[in-house]
Structure 1
Amino acid sequence: MTEKIGFAAPTRQPKVLPSKTRRLAILLFLAYSSLITLFQGVQNILLPPVVQRLAPDAKVSTMALLATLASVTTVIALFAGGAVSDRTRSRWGRRTPSLVLSWLAGVILMPVMGIAGSVTLLAVAMPLLWFALNYYQSVLLAALPDRIPENELGFASAAVGLGAPVGIFCGVNLAAFASNVLVGYILLAIPFTILTWALVLLEPEGPSVDMSVPPRQPMSLITLLAQFSSVRDRNFALALASRFLMFLCYFSVSGYMFYIVQDYVGAAKTPFGNAATGVSILLSVMTVTWLVVTLGSGYFADRIRRTALVVALASFGAAIVTMLPAASPNWPVMLVFALGIGLTFGAYFVLDLKLAILVLPAPETAGRDLGILLAAGSAPGVISPVIAASIIEGGGYPALFFFGAAVAALAGVCAILIRIVR
């Protein structure tokens, strides 16, 4: 018996041949990889040294400010991308117009980030760039409930999940070896452009002109809150909470990885005595492990009957490995930490994406509701910089690792309470 999703699969998408589904999944993987390449290259490599140069005495608080501003626009974009594209009717489909427009906005804003010479300009450009890229993400992933049959959902989720480690690996290495910041942004924009258009042209979406459009309602606080009515569904609410807590763990620690390596471990203790290279090595170890786990998860994802349980176990595993660096600030422990995060988040990311789709309440609002779940994974970015900065100032980096472990364990508790009808 298979896990039963929140709405009947035949009303969600037409039947398609496995070969066509798998081609679409591969193109989604490539486009998603290019998106993660951008995020990781900017956040982990290109941005921290610029912030350190522009605000040397306030680098932690400045990074917190930029991350908070960007995260606010991220949450709005993830919700808006799904909601707007749900209502879009065109000869190119519901999602494609939004996908192309958000790609265009992204490639225009990247050079602006590359030439930014002040914190003020960064504080304007980065939130706008993050809005465009996360709008793109919401629209891109809406193809899963729209166009992937239930019996291929695990494979497609694994393919998209594979995009995370591949994107991290490509992003940190492309950016780390760029001759300057502007060149780094250009290098990151090239695969994003090529792979976006490969998806649009090689696997075009069907027209949506004949689909019914829900009637528009006057904007008010009541109608705005009604957009979140899906949260009343128990499984949806638990999945939302689990995802929020798990990514709160991830963002709290990874958002300060550059400074953890430089100030906690010590750049001199890393290979080549360079913090940026140390971060690149750690993220490469994490992503290679993530890659291997994702490939294995892809095989079992469509056969697992207890998706929520496995998601919970991955969360508990992440809690354990996140505590390790608190014990000793040395390079070998950080390598073990990176290996463990790759293992646990690799399994979590694939199966949590499948779980998110399984708990979607209705096909008409699949993009909106998936956007809400995606926002739950990005919303921690709004509060994690402030929380992490406060924890670092009050208890140092060990306290930050303990905090991350605690919220990951709570994420596991929420996941284990989800009950999918069989």
Structure 2
Amino acid sequence: MNKVTISLKRLLPALVIGPASWLGPYVVMNSLFLPALIQKIDAPNKVQLVALFSTMGMIFAAISNMVAGALSDRTWSRFGKRAPWIVGGGFCFMLAMIGASLCYNIPALLIAWMVGQVALNFMVAPMVAWIDFAPEDYRATASSAYGGLGMALGNNGFNVVGALLLSQFRLGFVVFGIFAFIGTLIAVLIVHEPANLDEEHLEKAPKKKHHFSWHTISTVFPRWSIGRDYYLALIGKLFQGVGNFAITGYILYIMTDFLHRGSQTQSSIQLINGIMLVLGILMGFFAGPVADKLKVLKFPVGFSTIFLAIAALVLFLFRNTTGIIIYALFAGLGMGLWNALDNLLNLEVIPDQNRVAFFLGVYNLGNTISQAIAPVIAGTVISLWGYSAVFGVAFFFSLIGGICMLSIRSVKK
């Protein structure tokens, strides 16, 4: 069976539009609209409720991500194995977000949000596999398009617009839910994945029986001596994610309750995301080519996480507009470098090249897990010691994440 290969002219635009279309609306709703709606419904318990939604979201996301990937791998249709799940997930996500906009109590909102988490991962898991459609010599280019440009646009570009709808957050759920569906649909149409119905007969071929044993389980993940660098990259991703999302997950409350920006809250959020968007796009365009020319990969990825630690420290020390700008510069540079190159670094340290899709999926799941546990950790320290403590969390986790990346041995620099 020949591997499906799609030209870069179709694949690269889709790898930018696709992740931007699902990640952007999710980030806006998770960091702005959901906290705003929770505050509207139950203000006294808002911090604990954000943590609850994040914990439940992590559980649902982790399970649905693995299920979606498995179902996608075993799908045969005239539209290919990825497209049906991406489009179906996008449509269900849109309906769930419209449902969230109509909720006036916490239980109903929690149900709508969990349905949205499941639907979201039925988009994400198959879409990451699009990178495998790239021609053999251009996989790094495809990975950079997905992570460097698509993720940068998703992480920062939409918050600029989302902040404009902060006072009409119920409408925001509807607008961004619809946008997520339309954007992912456009990406699917651009990729135009070929039919794979001819693969279905392979399922009828006799299968070699595998007996259940501890050895079978233990071979799913290699031991530390073999997979050391991969595990360090995964740990680094988890710590980097917690360090980043500990602040971004509570950015609305940090602006209102810690920095006391008042009427300047909306403009401050727009300023941060505007600066981070510009730097993210610049890194998406230039970080990959420069890294290829200078033959460096580990150092920019490792230091990108340390830049996030510096950003958290700056915002804590300088609680004014200057501090906000410096924070955005360091965070934008850090996230821009990270999004552009971390997927490539992961590809370099995968311990079993015959299971690239599996290890990529586990690595990308680290992003979902860190987004979910970061508000839990941050919410706990905020409840115990106030908003000042969240910057210590961000600094510590980001710093450890960078150290893990710089400790990788198989990638020299």
Q: Could you tell me the TM-score, scaled by structure 2's length? A: 0.87
Number of residue pairs aligned between Structure 1 and Structure 2: 404
The one-letter amino acid paired with 2:177 is A
Q: Does 1:200 align with 2:188?
A: yes
Aligned equivalents of 1:93, 1:365: Cα separation in 2: 21
Partner in structure 1 of residue 123 of structure 2: 136
Partner in structure 1 of residue 289 of structure 2: 299
Partner in structure 2 of residue 66 of structure 1: 53
> How far did residue 220 of structure 1 move?
9.8
Partner in structure 2 of residue 350 of structure 1: 340
Partner in structure 2 of residue 412 of structure 1: 402
Q: Does 1:210 align with 2:199?
A: yes
Partner in structure 1 of residue 233 of structure 2: 239
Aligned equivalents of 2:156, 2:231: Cα separation in 1: 32
Change (3 A) 1:304 1:34: farther
Partner in structure 1 of residue 96 of structure 2: 109
Which structure features the higher share of helix residues? 2
Q: Which residues in structure 2 correspond to 1:78-157 (within 5 Å)?
A: 78-144=65-131, 146-157=132-143
Change (3 A) 1:79 1:229: farther
Conserved? CA contact 1:155–1:302, under 8 Å: no
Conserved? CA contact 1:83–1:365, under 8 Å: no
> How far did residue 256 of structure 1 move?
0.7
Structure 2 counterpart of 1:35, from 22, 32, 36: 22
Conserved? CA contact 1:68–1:381, under 8 Å: no
> How far did residue 217 of structure 1 move?
6.9
Aligned equivalents of 1:421, 1:322: Cα separation in 2: 28
Q: Which residues in structure 2 correspond to 1:254-273 (within 5 Å)?
A: 254-268=248-262, 273=263
Conserved? CA contact 2:381–2:390, under 8 Å: yes
The one-letter amino acid paired with 2:120 is L
> How far did residue 118 of structure 1 move?
0.8
Partner in structure 2 of residue 165 of structure 1: 152
Aligned equivalents of 1:15, 1:202: Cα separation in 2: 14
Change (3 A) 1:356 1:319: same
Aligned equivalents of 1:163, 1:374: Cα separation in 2: 14
Structure 2 counterpart of 1:402, from 370, 389, 392: 392
Conserved? CA contact 2:98–2:177, under 8 Å: no
Conserved? CA contact 2:57–2:117, under 8 Å: yes
Partner in structure 2 of residue 338 of structure 1: 328
- The SS at the match of 1:210 is helix
> How far did residue 245 of structure 1 move?
0.9
Structure 2 counterpart of 1:379, from 348, 352, 369: 369
Aligned equivalents of 2:112, 2:217: Cα separation in 1: 28
The one-letter amino acid paired with 1:373 is Y
Aligned equivalents of 1:141, 1:301: Cα separation in 2: 23
Q: Percent identity?
A: 25
1:182-204 Cα offsets, whole Å, 9 max, x none, are 43223213432333222322322
Structure 1: segments with no counterpart, 5+ residues:
1-10
Q: Does 1:50 align with 2:37?
A: yes
> How far did residue 222 of structure 1 move?
8.5
- Aligned Cα root-mean-square deviation (Å): 2.9
> How far did residue 25 of structure 1 move?
1.2
Partner in structure 2 of residue 184 of structure 1: 172
Aligned equivalents of 1:117, 1:216: Cα separation in 2: 52
Aligned equivalents of 1:248, 1:42: Cα separation in 2: 18
Say which is worse superposed, 288-297 or 213-222, in terms of deviation.
213-222
Partner in structure 2 of residue 4 of structure 1: none
Conserved? CA contact 2:36–2:169, under 8 Å: no
> How far did residue 36 of structure 1 move?
1.8
The one-letter amino acid paired with 2:233 is A
Q: Could you tell me the TM-score, scaled by structure 1's length? A: 0.86
Say which is worse superposed, 56-65 or 230-239, in terms of deviation.
230-239
> How far did residue 224 of structure 1 move?
7.0
Aligned equivalents of 1:417, 1:99: Cα separation in 2: 36
Q: Does 1:249 align with 2:243?
A: yes
Aligned equivalents of 1:235, 1:157: Cα separation in 2: 19
The one-letter amino acid paired with 2:236 is S
Aligned equivalents of 2:71, 2:228: Cα separation in 1: 25
Conserved? CA contact 2:238–2:369, under 8 Å: yes
The one-letter amino acid paired with 2:194 is G
Conserved? CA contact 2:298–2:411, under 8 Å: no
> How far did residue 119 of structure 1 move?
0.9
> How far did residue 230 of structure 1 move?
8.5
- The SS at the match of 2:79 is coil
Structure 2: segments with no counterpart, 5+ residues:
none
Aligned equivalents of 2:172, 2:211: Cα separation in 1: 45
Conserved? CA contact 2:21–2:180, under 8 Å: yes
> How far did residue 341 of structure 1 move?
0.4
Q: Does 1:366 align with 2:356?
A: yes
> How far did residue 278 of structure 1 move?
2.5
Change (3 A) 1:278 1:147: same
Aligned equivalents of 1:12, 1:330: Cα separation in 2: 58
Aligned equivalents of 1:97, 1:187: Cα separation in 2: 23
Aligned equivalents of 1:216, 1:253: Cα separation in 2: 49
Aligned equivalents of 1:153, 1:301: Cα separation in 2: 15
